[in-house]
Amino acid sequence: MTSEQLFWLLLVLRSVVCNDYPDDCPLLIQPPRVVVRHGDPVSVNCTISGDHDGMGWEASEGSVFWEEHVQFVTWRLKTLTDWEIGPYCYADIPIDLEDDFHCTRSLNIAVYKPPDSVSISVVNHTGPMLEGKQYQLQCEVQNIAPVQYLTVKWYKGETFENQTSDDDLTKTPVNVFTTLLISPTCADDGAQYSCVAELELGPEGPQPSPEVKSDPLNITVFYKPRITEWLEKPREEPPDSVSISVVNHTGPMLEGKQYQLQCELQNIAPVQYLTVKWETLENQTSYDDLTKTPVYPPDHTHLC
């Protein structure tokens, strides 16, 4: 058995033997949570208060082997490349002359990557949309991690429409597809839809949260024509003046002879609604015939 194998065997045996030790573990990780962009450096300290027989870090990258007579050890990487890395700090604390308590503290770490691209499209449809029909918009987020911190937000113009998130715990980069159902109206003709992929990584992450926005999707909506304005009400103008005259005649009339009276109205509108009525002042009789033959007595007064 090699010395390294013997070391790990002793760690396991100590963990089994010391299960009755109190749960309090005097290890302090600082910071307790880190958010690291894939490929960036990272550095975290593990500190112990009190005596110990040795402490270190265990991780798939950057392990710190057993160290004695120190009060802290640092886990450090120049470039973090393992998406599923799970570092933890450990220490062996003496209980008595023979037994140790093996305590551990895990580092809460999130390795993230913003998406390569975000795009929006209409599912199974091309060309103009019909008013009142339902359509499905799809937002495609390419190569993002981790998906559990992803929120996809939908916008129509500058107006927020909806948002979706995922509880998938996959830590490696994935492609994500989310959809939005719409039923466009005539008011949506020419509207622009877009989606935004946002990684909400918490206060330990970058501020503001990393986000990538799609190019806008312009939609055209075909709809039935509508009367948007009533026809303007015709202008009503009463006549400036009304006058009556005898056509081609002046002076007294002869009994039994036919004469033509003319009624003139100045500056009236609308003409299509005009009705002219003729009356004699004597008995207020109305008639529409413009041709009158005078009868005795000849001094009737005609009105229009």
CA–CA dist 94, 21 (Å, integer): 10
CA–CA dist 267, 276 (Å, integer): 14
Q: Which pLDDT does position 295 carry in this prediction? A: 43
Quote the pTM value: 0.64
What are 266's two structure tokens? 């100045």
Region 51-70 average pLDDT: 91
CATH number assigned to the domain covering 117-222: 2.60.40.10
pLDDT at 28 over 50: yes
CA–CA dist 210, 208 (Å, integer): 6
Q: Which pLDDT does position 300 carry in this prediction? A: 56
Per mean pLDDT, which range of 41-50, 79-88, 277-286 is the poorest?
277-286
Work out the number of other CB atoms within 10 angstroms of the CB of residue 130.
12
pLDDT in tens, 168-220: 899 999 999 999 999 999 999 999 999 999 999 999 999 999 999 999 999 99
Task: Tell me the three state secondary structure of residue 12.
Answer: helix
Q: For 237-290, give the DSSP string.
A: B--SEEEEEETT--SPPPTT--EEEEEEEES-B-GGG----EEETTT--EE--S
- The yes-or-no answer to whether 3-112 and 117-222 have a common fold is yes
Closest by CA to 46, choosing from 54, 301, 152, 236, is 54
Domain map (residue ranges) of the chain? 3-112, 117-222, 241-303
pLDDT in tens, 96-140: 767 778 899 999 999 999 999 999 999 999 999 999 999 999 999
Q: Which pLDDT does position 157 carry in this prediction? A: 95
Residue 240 — left, alpha, or beta (φ > 0 → left; ψ -120 to 50 → alpha)?
A: alpha
Work out the number of other CB atoms within 10 angstroms of the CB of residue 115.
21
Is residue 102 within 8 Å of residue 16, measured between CB atoms?
Answer: no
- Helix, strand, coil percentages for the chain (3-state, nearest 5): 10, 45, 50
Distances (CA, A) of 174 to 98, 252, 266: 50, 109, 84
CA–CA dist 244, 210 (Å, integer): 88
CATH number assigned to the domain covering 3-112: 2.60.40.10
